[in-house]
Amino acid sequence: MDTSISINKLSKTFGKTAVLKEVDLQVAGGEIFGLIGPSGSGKTTLVKMIVGIDSPSGGMVEVLGKQVPNLSLLQDIGYMAQSDALYPELTGRENLRFFASLYKMNQVLLKERLAYAADLVQLTDELGKKVAAYSGGMKRRLSLAIALVHDPQILILDEPTVGIDPELRLSIWNELMLLKRQQGKTIIVTTHVMDEAEKCDRIAMVREGGILATGTPDELKAAYGAVDLEGVFLQAGRGAQ
C-alpha cells in the first residue's frame, strides 16, 4: 500500500512547552491507524497538524503526497474534532447540508450522501430537530456524519465514540471497517478505549509528545509482554517514567 500520511520530525511548542517532539510516523493507504496515549500526551495536537488546522513549529506533514496545509486536500479529508463544532440553532439536517455544501457534489449525490451519513449514525429520524435539543451523544453522531458526508478518502476521527452507547459504537466500528475494506479508506482514530484500539490495523503509543512504539496490536502485546492492550498501555507508562 502507498503511504497516505507521512509525518517527518513534526514539532509543536506552545510558549516554552514542547507538546510534540520530532514525531515521525507513516500511515499506509487503506489502514485503520489508532493513536493511544494518556490525556495531554499530544494526540489532538498531532491530528490537528495532519488536518492542517494548526501549524507545526518544525517538521512537515504530507497527505496523499501533498504538503499540508493545501486547499486541495479539503475534499480528501474528513475530520471529526473532539469538541463538536455545530450550529445549535439549525436542525441536524441544516447542519449536514451546510457542511456538505462546502464540497463539490451535485444535487443527486448530495441527497444520497446526506441519507447515507444520517443513517450510518442512526440520526435519520432526528434530523428535523434543532441541534440545541440534541444530547451529547447525538451531537457526536452528527459530527461523525458531517466528517463522512463528502466521501473523503481519509478520515481523521478524534475520540469519535465518546458518549455513544455500546450498540451504536459497535455498528459505527463495523462501518469504519467496511469503509476500509470495500473502499480502501485510510482512517486515523484517537481513542482511550482499548477494545477500539484492538480493532485498528496498527497503533502508535503516544507519550509526552513522542511516539513510544508503533505496531499491530499483537506486535505491541508481544513487545511489552502484555496479554492485552490495557497491559501495553500501563507497561509503556511505567517505562516512560
Judged by CB under 6 A, which of 7, 10, 36, 41 binds ligand ATP? 41
Residue 45 found at the interface with ligand ATP (CB under 6 A): yes
CB of 104 to ligand ATP, least distance (A): 31
Q: Under a CB-based contact definition with an 8 Å cutoff, are residues 95 and 131 in contact? A: yes
Q: At what angle do helices 107-120 and 92-100 cross, to 10 degrees?
A: 130
Residue among 109 and 193 whose Cβ is closer to ligand ATP: 193
Judged by CB under 6 A, which of 4, 25, 31, 42 binds ligand ATP? 42
Name the nearest CA neighbour of 210 among 28, 13, 11, 65. Answer: 11
CB of 82 to ligand ATP, least distance (A): 6
Residue among 24 and 119 whose Cβ is closer to ligand ATP: 24
Q: Under a CB-based contact definition with an 8 Å cutoff, are residues 213 and 23 in contact? A: no
Judged by CB under 6 A, which of 23, 27, 36, 43 binds ligand ATP? 43
Q: Under a CB-based contact definition with an 8 Å cutoff, are residues 67 and 60 in contact? A: yes
Name the nearest CA neighbour of 72 among 48, 100, 104. Answer: 104
186: cell is: 485510510
Q: Write out the residues near ligand ATP by the rule CB under 6 A.
A: 14, 19, 37, 39-45, 82
